Amino acid sequence: MANLTPMVQAERKSLSGFLDTLTPEQWTMPTACTKWSVRDLVAHLTAAGNITAPHFFGGFIKTGFSFDKFVEGDLAQFNGGSDADVKARFDTIIMSTRKPPGPAYVALGEVMVHGEDIRRAVGARGEHPSEHLTTLAEYYKKTGAPLRAKKRLEGLKLQATDVDWSSGEGPEVRGPCMSLILGMVGRADALADCEGDGVSTLKSRA
């Protein structure tokens, strides 16, 4: 298994640099994540970078085993003050080795997918190393709940046009690897720059 920690840290560093370019208005922009703005997502990523297993399971129990309530409460702890305060808190977790409970790829997926949610909310795109893209795509294509990529991709072929990666058989979905990854996890709008007979099917499964 590839060492994912340096990838996570590199993606956080890249996102931090992008956040430095945002205007106050852009911090308030809505994202593909329902109810969450750019600022909310940055706070969410900060919370994820601070999490420990005891904190997660203890908080999960306190919220009556509601994952959504736990995430919202955790996010709020890192969302106070000015935009600069929110950004400064994010910067403290760039080199963190903590991750949400679950498979090792969870932290990489969080920062790459939500980082792209942030960028695309303001009309930008991220530049991700090919190793990061292909690694995450390989992990994500097999996922069940809550991501459910395996079910969405059933009977389809995904073909990246910017890196050496493909998967599956059937009607094809061709496009940038990051857009394919976002499509795997239900971001139908991210498939706007993709082509092929399988695009409409994947969009319908969002």
Residues 99 and 24 in one domain: yes
Q: Residue 160: which residues within 8 A CB-CB, separation 6 or more?
A: 133, 134, 137, 166, 174, 175, 176, 177, 180
The predicted model scores a pTM of 0.89
Instruction: Provide the b/e sequence for 74-95 (b: ≥16 CB within 10 Å).
Output: bbeebbeeebeebbebbeebbe
189 is a domain residue? yes
Tell me if 77 is assigned to some domain: yes
Beta bridge partners of 158: 167, 173
Is 132 domain-assigned? Answer: no
Give tens-digit pLDDT for 49-79: 887 554 444 444 455 544 455 456 567 889 9
Of the given ranges (3-17, 61-75, 114-128, 170-184), which has the lowest mean pLDDT? 61-75
- Residue 54 has what pLDDT? 47
% the chain with pLDDT above 90: 77
Range of 31-40, 45-54, 173-182 with top mean pLDDT = 173-182
Residues 15 and 115 in one domain: yes
Of 41-50, 74-83, 182-191, the poorest mean pLDDT is in 74-83
Q: Is residue 138 part of a domain?
A: no
Q: At which of 86, 121, 156 does a domain end?
A: 121
Does residue 193 lie within any of the structural domains?
yes
Domain assignment present for residue 106? The answer is yes
Q: Check whether residue 107 and residue 149 sit in a common domain.
A: no
Average per-residue pLDDT for the chain: 90
**100 shares its domain with 162:** no
Residue 194, domain extent: 144-204
Is it the case that residue 179 has pLDDT exceeding 70? yes
In a domain, 139, yes or no: no
Would you say residue 68 lies in a domain? Answer: yes
Clarify whether residues 98 and 158 are in a common domain.
no
Domain count of the chain?
Answer: 2
pLDDT at 57: 43
Predicted pLDDT of residue 59: 46
pLDDT at 50: 82
86 and 156 together in one domain: no
* Between 38 and 103, residue with greater pLDDT: 38
The pLDDT, as a whole number, for residue 34 is: 81
Question: Is the same domain home to 103 and 191?
Answer: no
